[in-house]
Structure 1
Amino acid sequence: MKSLRIQLEPHAPEGHDVDVAPFLFVFPGNERGLGPDLHVADEAAFEAAGRHADGAALSLVAELTSETTKDADWIDALWTYGTVVPVYLVLDMQAQEVTVFWGPSPKGYRSKTTVPFGEPVRVPAPFDFELDTSGFGRTGDDAAGDEAADA
């Protein structure tokens, strides 16, 4: 996550903050808040009182899958983010690949691309840069440990 955060920071829209701190965002039609592993959001969204921010303030979310969260990241979060958030990154730690979704619509994301860890992937507007994924995965015995911490 540190590598992802560091790469995103210089490309974040003006007034948006890249953070991994746990924070819940609310979305229309979703009864519970979602707390992405990493988010890029308008700083003004955190000025309101309460522990939930408006999901419309997000410009990007990223989830790093685990065996226990994989279904939620690929199904529930994909649907919810796909109606509002401009860019959604899924770092699939089990498949060792990253999928970038963009173009939210009332029916979900319009576009996606997937590359294996190690290949660069384009993060579309409002970020518009090539993400280096070479340091995202682990191989061999290390893979069973804390893969998500390195991404």
Structure 2
Amino acid sequence: MLGIVEGLDTPAGYKAELIRGKIVVSPWSKLRYKKVMKALRLQLEQHAPEGHDVDVAPFLFTFPGSERGYGPDLHVADETAFEVEGRHADGAALSLAAELTSDSTKDVDWLDKMATYGQIVPVYLLLDMRVGEINVMWDPSPKGYRSRTNVPFGRPVRIPAPFDFELDTSGFGVPEEQSAEDEQR
């Protein structure tokens, strides 16, 4: 299945992921989310674990035994994961995955990705762009994340180890008129 995902010629602006053994094609993030992703990336770069890279590049991370292959909106991963041949990185290399969720992706981001990331990825950030809040999950276990907090955009939020810093979310909001326009589309 991963070979098929890899070989897909997705339309411009779309990505393919492997979710529950099914190939799912969804749009890349909205252009207006770039500012938020950049602010998040710049803050995470200062606190990333040694040897870990922060990027928004469209890499597919696989999770053996789970029939999943995700391309997080933003990831922090051990650089050695990208020194191997192939096109799929090992999900165990992730120290953080971040998703900017919208109406079209929220179910997958909240349910499927949180369950998969929650078993192996130390920190999962889910930015709910419609509600205007950031959810931080950490302390993975075989049953999922043991800890979670959320704050509205505009307030700082603690990003736990291995990052251990206060994330400034003051620039993460989307103007209300833009949110209303998106709902009508």
The TM-score bracket by the shorter chain reads over 0.9
Give the gaps of 5 or more residues in structure 1: 147-151
The Cα shift of 1:111 comes to 0.1
Query: Relative contact order: is structure 1 or structure 2 higher (C-alpha 8 Å, sep ≥ 6)?
Result: 1
Question: What's the TM-score once normalised by structure 2's chain length?
Answer: 0.76
Amino acid at match of 2:42: I
Aligned length: 146
Alignment correspondent of 1:135 = 171
Q: Deviations over 1:69-106 (max 9, x none)?
A: 11000000000000000000000011110000000000
Moved over 2 A (4+): 142-146
Deviation of 1:28 after TM superposition, in Å, equals 2.8
SS at match of 1:91: strand
Match in the other structure for 1:35: 71
Letter matched to residue 90 of structure 2: D
2:104 aligned residue: 68
Unaligned stretches of 5+ residues in structure 2: 1-36
Q: Which residue of 2 aligns with 1:58?
A: 94
Give how far 1:142 is off.
2.5
Work out whether 1:123 is the aligned partner of 2:169. no
CA distance in structure 2 between the aligned counterparts of 1:19 and 1:30, rounded to whole angstroms = 24
- Report the 3-state secondary structure (helix = DSSP H, G, I; strand = E; otherwise coil) of the residue aligned with 1:33: strand
Bigger radius of gyration among the two: 2
Q: Residue 85 of structure 1 corresponds to which residue in structure 2?
A: 121
Give the structure 2 partner of residue 12 of structure 1.
Answer: 48
Identical-residue share of aligned pairs (%): 74
Letter in 1 for 2:67: E
**Contact map agreement 1:137 1:143 (CA 8 A) in 2:** no
After superposition, give the CA deviation of every residue in 1:12-50 in whole Å (9 maximum; x if it has no partner).
Answer: 000000000000111133213111000000000011111
Match of 2:21 in 1: none
Q: Does structure 1 residue 2 correspond to structure 2 residue 51? A: no
- Which residue identity lines up with residue 57 of structure 1 in the other structure? A
CA separation in 1, counterparts of 2:175 and 2:116? 32
Q: CA RMSD in A?
A: 1.2
